[in-house]
Amino acid sequence: MASTNSSLPKGWPALVLFGDSITEGIWHYDSGYSLGAALTEKFSRRIQVLERGFSGYNSSNARVIVDDVIPPAGGAIDLKLLLVFFGANDAVLPPNQQVISNEQAEKGVIAVSQHVDIEEYKDHLRAIAQHKHVKDHGAKVILVTPPPICEHKILPWKDRRSAVAKQYAEAAISVAEETGVEVLKLWQVFMEAAGWKEGEPLLGEIGVPKSEKLGELLSDGLHLTPKGYKLYFDSLMKLLEDKLPEIYNYERIFPNWGEAPRYQKPDN
């Protein structure tokens, strides 16, 4: 039965997606699919969906602004769930490992990097997952691992590696296990959808035949296609249903119209 609450003593229940350009892109409505719209429909009249995506940001950038992204408890927002989705930019190769072609060098291209060392990355994830504001809200946290990289599609920019993305995905999983929060193993979800099995040559690597199935999930070798976002949504819903049913089944916070109180004109 739906709740008959007629007030919000702790603020409006909220789900915050905190991440980089992949999160910023949840409202793209390509090919008839938008992750942001799908989440909003799922939680309509239950939990508001707040996108806090910052293109190009890594976990170090995120740690600086987390105080502003996650407001203190007791305000207009009652944070129920925080998705932390960083690592794709952290995993960029450091400048001294990047390859600049002669043609790029002639055009003045220099090696720049969003790279964050893997141990530092883990430290930033810990800090965000265990942030005071998050704890004060009593919010649940899900760390989302960075997705795979398809080197075949990301060329000619040679600053990302499939194997390195795997390492950062594993690092995110280890932080989730250490801190006791949930983890959405998006790297694994995508790779399994592409037909990859542990121990096989790593799909996405330039020396491994190009995977059409993996390519269907990654538009440019890094960002998600509509099909990729749909897989993200489906895997998130399965995790919520299995691990956080109190979020997945969150009740409406105001009664249905037939039970809703109506304004009563004051007597005086």
Average pLDDT estimate for 215-231: 95
Average pLDDT estimate for 251-262: 90
Is residue 257 one of the residues assigned to a domain? no
pLDDT band at 219, cuts 50/70/90? very high
Domain of residue 39, residue span: 12-248
The number of folded domains in the chain is 1
- Looking at residue 6, its pLDDT comes to 52
- Looking at residue 102, its pLDDT comes to 61
Strands 77-85 and 12-19, bridge-based pairing: parallel
Is residue 259 one of the residues assigned to a domain? no
Percent above pLDDT 70 for the chain:
90
- Looking at residue 10, its pLDDT comes to 84
pLDDT band at 1, cuts 50/70/90? very low
Residue 42 is part of a domain; what is its CATH number?
Answer: 3.40.50.1110
pLDDT band at 105, cuts 50/70/90? low
What are the contacts of 220-225 at 24+ separation with CB within 8 A?
A: 220/153, 220/154, 221/149, 221/150, 221/151, 221/152, 221/153, 221/154, 221/155, 221/160, 222/88, 222/147, 222/149, 222/150, 222/154, 222/160, 223/21, 223/22, 223/25, 224/22, 224/25, 224/147, 225/30, 225/31
Is residue 264 one of the residues assigned to a domain? no
Average pLDDT estimate for 73-87: 96
Is residue 263 one of the residues assigned to a domain? no
Is residue 137 one of the residues assigned to a domain? yes
The alpha carbon dihedral of 70, 71, 77, 80 has a sign of: positive
Is residue 178 one of the residues assigned to a domain? yes
Average pLDDT estimate for 197-216: 94
Average pLDDT estimate for 144-148: 98
Give me the chain's average pLDDT, please: 91
- Residues with Cβ within 8 Å of residue 177, at least 6 apart in sequence: 183
Residues 152-195: tens digit of each pLDDT: 988 655 788 999 999 999 999 999 999 999 999 999 999 999 99
Q: CA 190 to CA 185: how far, in whole Å?
A: 9
pLDDT band at 267, cuts 50/70/90? confident
pLDDT band at 29, cuts 50/70/90? confident
Lowest average pLDDT, out of 93-102, 209-218, 237-246, goes to 93-102
Is residue 40 one of the residues assigned to a domain? yes
- Does residue 4 have a pLDDT over 90? no
Q: CA 202 to CA 212: how far, in whole Å?
A: 14
